[in-house]
Amino acid sequence: MVTTLKEAQSEADQCTVVLSIVVPCFNEELGVAQLHQRLCQVRDSFIGGVIREVILVDDGSSDSTWERFQALFGNYPWVKLVRHPANRGITAAIRSGIEASSSPWVATIDADCTYDPLQLQQLASLIDDRVAMITASPYHPKGRVIGVPRWRLVLSKLASSGYRLLFKQKLHTYTSCFRIYRKEVWSRLTISQEGFVGVAEIAWQIDRMGERILEAPAVLTTRKVGFSKMRTVPVIRQHIALMTRILIARLFGKTDRKT
- Is residue 136 within 8 A of residue 215, CB to CB? The reply is yes
Edge-to-edge strand order for the sheet containing 179-182? 79-84, 49-59, 17-25, 105-108, 179-182, 131-137, 212-217
Q: For residue 144, tell me if it sits in a domain.
A: yes
Residue type, 127: I
Higher pLDDT, 93 or 233: 93
Quick check: is 49 in a domain?
yes
Give the confidence band of 226 by pLDDT, cuts at 50, 70, 90. low
- What is the DSSP secondary-structure string of 62-117? SSSHHHHHHHHHTT-TTEEEEEESS---HHHHHHHHHHT--SSEEEE--TT-SS-G
Rounded to 5 degrees, φ, ψ at 149 are -55, 140
Q: Which domain holds residue 184?
A: 16-252
Query: In Å, how far are 5, 131, 143, 172, 204 from 167, measured between CA atoms?
Result: 45, 17, 21, 11, 7
| DSSP bridge partners of 194 | none
CATH for 156: 3.90.550.10
- Note whether 98 and 106 are within 8 A (CB): yes
d(CA 120, CA 181): 12
Cβ partners under 8 Å of residue 43, min gap 6: 51, 54, 78
pLDDT, tens digit (0-9, with 9 covering 90-100), for 169-214: 999 999 999 999 999 999 999 999 999 999 999 999 999 999 999 9
Q: What is the pLDDT of residues 9-52, one digit of tens each?
A: 443 445 488 999 999 999 999 999 999 999 999 999 999 899 99
Amino acid 2: pLDDT:
37
Average pLDDT over every residue of 149-168: 90
Q: 55: closest CA among 6, 96, 12, 11?
A: 96
11 occurs within a structural domain:
no
End-to-end CA distance of the chain: give it in Å, rounded. 42
Asked if residue 5 belongs to a domain, the reply is: no
Q: What are the φ and ψ backbone dihedral angles of 2, each rounded to 5 degrees? A: -90, 125
Q: What percent of the chain has pLDDT over 90?
A: 79
- 93 near 66, Cβ under 8 Å? no
Cα–Cα distance measured from residue 243 to residue 167, given in angstroms and rounded to the nearest whole number: 10
Reported as a pLDDT band with limits 50, 70 and 90, residue 4 is: very low
DSSP bridge pairs for 214: 134
pTM: 0.89
Whether 6 is in a domain gets the answer no
Number of domains the chain contains: 1
Is it the case that residue 154 has pLDDT exceeding 60? Answer: yes
Task: Give the C-alpha separation, 216 to 212, whole Å.
Answer: 14
Whether the CB-CB separation of 131 and 80 falls below 8 Å is answered with no
Within-domain flag for 54 = yes
